Structure 1
Amino acid sequence: MSSLHIFALHQPTEPLFVTEDVTDIAAHLQQHGIRFEQWRATAAIDAHSSTEQVLTAYADAIARLQQQEGYVAVDVISLSPDHPDKAALRQKFLDEHIHTEDEVRFFVRGQGLFCLHLGDKVYQVLCKQHDLISVPANTPHWFDMGSSPDFTAIRFFNNPQGWVAHFTGSTLARQFPLLN
Structure 2
Amino acid sequence: MAEILIRNTNERISGEEQVREFLESHEVLYEHWDVSKLSGELQENFILTDEQKAAVLQTFEPEIKDLAARRGYKIWDVITLSEATPNLDELLAKFEQIHTHTEDEIRAIVGGKGIFIIKGPEEIGYFNVELSPGDVISVPENIPHFFTLMENQKIVAVRLFIEENGWIAEPFEDPSFIKA
**TM score, norm. by length of structure 2:** 0.88
The aligned amino acid for 2:170 is H
- Partners of 2:150 and 2:4 lie apart in 1 by 17
8 Å CA contact retained: 1:4, 1:125: yes
Deviations 1:139-162 (A, max 9, x none): 001112146521100001111111
Q: Which consecutive unaligned segments of at least 5 residues does structure 1 have?
A: 9-13
1:69 equivalent in structure 2: 71
Structure 2 partner of 1:11: none
Equivalent residue letter for 1:20: S
- CA deviations over 1:58-114 (Å, ceiling 9, x no partner): 111001000000101101001111222100110111111000000000001001110
Deviates more, 1:97-106 or 1:75-84: 75-84
Counterpart of 2:85 in structure 1 is: 83
C-alpha contact (below 8 Å) 2:106/2:160 kept by paired residues = yes
Kindly indicate whether residue 39 of structure 2 is the aligned counterpart of residue 37 of structure 1.
no
**Distance in 1 (alpha carbons) for counterparts of 2:21 and 2:38:** 29
Alpha-carbon RMSD:
1.6
Aligned length, in residue pairs: 170
Alpha-carbon distance in 2 for matches of 1:61, 1:139:
25
Q: 2 CA distance for matches of 1:163 and 1:74?
A: 11
Q: Is the 8 A contact 2:76 2:158 kept in 1?
A: yes
Task: After TM superposition, list the pairs within 5 Å mapping 1:151-166 onto structure 2.
Answer: 151-166=155-170
- For residues 93 and 60 of structure 2, what CA distance do their matches in structure 1 show? 29
8 Å contact 1:90–1:144 — kept in the other structure? Answer: yes
User: 1:133 pairs with 132, 137, 142, which one?
Assistant: 137
